[in-house]
Structure 1
Amino acid sequence: MARAQHGTTSRAKSRTGLLPLAAGILSAVALTGAAFATVEAAACTGSAQYIRHDNHIELVGGCVNGTELPATSGTRQANALPENSKP
């Protein structure tokens, strides 16, 4: 008799272990759906492109508005040294 009860208890424990797994999968699917819906609702007019002008680069298109970006105080030049070299 004790053996039959032990088998029933182990099955009950495995079933309760599936509940957190199912909840995790369900929440991941819901969050993925919400992310796709948010991107679709953004209504971007097209993909963004960087256009080089005489002395600056301009981002045209996409969902980024240039007025929303923080202002910079000047131009910054990239470091021309390779990663492994010492200054």
Structure 2
Amino acid sequence: MAATTGSARGIAWRRPDKIRNPAELLLPQTEVSDAEIEGALALTGPEFEDAYTDAMAKIIEAKREHRALPEAPEPRNRARCSTSWPPS
């Protein structure tokens, strides 16, 4: 038998055979050696900086301190599109 839950968006059907225990989704713990970590860091180098996380941290900090949000930087590498829209 299926159970239903109502919401503003409609009805969600929940069948007991489709609901899994979240503990089943956890990945097993593994050991990572220092050499593996150093190798991974060498592959990602400074050219692979995480600008998104840095920008989000600045936004969160500004909101916490009730300051104006920082300006968005210009993209460094704009992708060039070889097609035009709308198509001819």
Q: TM-score, normalised by structure 2?
A: 0.24
Q: Higher relative contact order at CA 8 Å, sep ≥6: structure 1 or structure 2?
A: 1
TM-score when normalising by structure 1: 0.24
Larger Rg computed on CA atoms: 1
